[in-house]
Amino acid sequence: MISKNDIKFIRSLSQKKFRDENGLFIAEGEKIVNEAISSRFEIAGIYKTSEIGEDNMSRISQLNTPSPILAVIRKPDSITKDEINSLISRKPLSLALDGLRDPGNVGTIIRLADWFGIDAIFASKDTVEIFNPKVVQATMGAIFRIKFIYCDLNDIISSFTLAKIPIYGTFLDGDSIYSTDLSSSGLIVMGSESNGISNEVASMITQRLFIPPYPADAHTSESLNVAIATSIVCSEFRRRNY
């Protein structure tokens, strides 16, 4: 049913080193595995508690409470430069993640992008790996539908700018998102949880946005969680350009 070597190999995929070496990652849970099966991703193996037993499932699972099903999935091919240029030429609404390190936040943002019909997510190379098990779990299956592209953000922003697509970013000293003109197309940059948007990327942003507290003069939290901020920003863009 499942050998000791299989168990050892599947467990190794909890580490990025082995995910990269083998081009594989893990997805757990009936919903996420069903999403994978329905997608363009290649399934390398499926393991069910009913077939391998609870003890073996607990040994290969990355969850505190193992789910009844786990899949080993092959990573898709990287998106080519021509495909990126084609995407930009369509003047999309896309997200850019600048140094986000929290897996839960990145997974949630992927799920938000799926909900709001965001065309693609571009991520700096120091953003957490999309195939980290915690990221995969937080996407709830959206990982199989969203284009997620690691890149040099400066280069991507330059390409969007050359295509005359506005570059938005969230800042504490920006203009209120509720009173600012928002385009139906654009690249929206979201900064890291601790440092915000890096200075180099910030210098390339054409419109600085701020999500104001309510009421405006209230003593509130210092800032919003990046995933929550992303949901508000995406919702406002879509509400304006529905």
Query: How many CA atoms, within 13 angstroms, populate the side-chain half-sphere of residue 215?
Result: 2
Q: Which has more pLDDT, 193 or 110?
A: 110
Judged by DSSP in three states, 31 sits in helix
- Give which of 73, 99, 75, 96 is closest to 84, Cα–Cα: 96
What are the beta bridge partners of residue 190?
A: 97
Which structure tokens are listed for 63?
């969850």
Q: Please report where in the chains the tokens 């084609």 appear, as a residue.
A: 86
Residue 31 pLDDT more than 90?
A: yes
223: confidence class by pLDDT, cuts 50, 70, 90: confident
Looking at residues 211-219, what average pLDDT do you find?
79
Contacting residues for 73 by C-beta, under 8 A, at least 6 apart:
24, 25, 26, 27, 36, 41, 42, 43, 44
> H or E segment at 161?
helix 153-162
The pLDDT assigned to 195 comes to 87
Residue type, 205: I
- Token look-up 């930009």 returns 88
**What are the backbone angles phi and psi of residue 79, rounded to the nearest 5°?**
-70, 135
pLDDT for position 95: 98
Claim: this prediction has a pTM higher than 0.85: yes
61-81: per-residue pLDDT in tens? Answer: 999 999 999 999 999 999 999
**pLDDT score, position 74:** 98
Share of residues in the chain with pLDDT > 90 (%): 90
Angle between helices 81-89 and 153-162 (to 10 degrees): 40
Rounded to an integer, what distance in angstroms lies between the CA atom of residue 127 and that of residue 137? 17
Mean pLDDT taken over the chain = 94
| pLDDT at 219 > cutoff 80 | no
Q: CA torsion, points 20, 22, 24, 28, in degrees to nearest 10?
A: -100
* 220-242 average pLDDT score: 89
> What domains are there in the chain, each with its CATH number?
4-74 (3.30.1330.30), 81-240 (3.40.1280.10)
Tokens of 206: 């054409």
Residue range 154-168, pLDDT digits in tens = 999 999 999 999 999
Tell me, what's the pLDDT at 194?
83
CA distance 36 to 143: 9
Strand-pair partners of 4 = none
Please determine, for residue 218, whether its predicted confidence score (pLDDT) is greater than 80: no
Spatial distance between the Cα atoms of 207 and 191, rounded to a whole number of angstroms: 14
Q: How sure is the predictor about 216, in pLDDT bands with cuts at 50, 70 and 90?
A: confident
How does pLDDT run across 81-125, given as a tens digit for each residue? 999 999 999 999 999 999 999 999 999 999 999 999 999 999 999
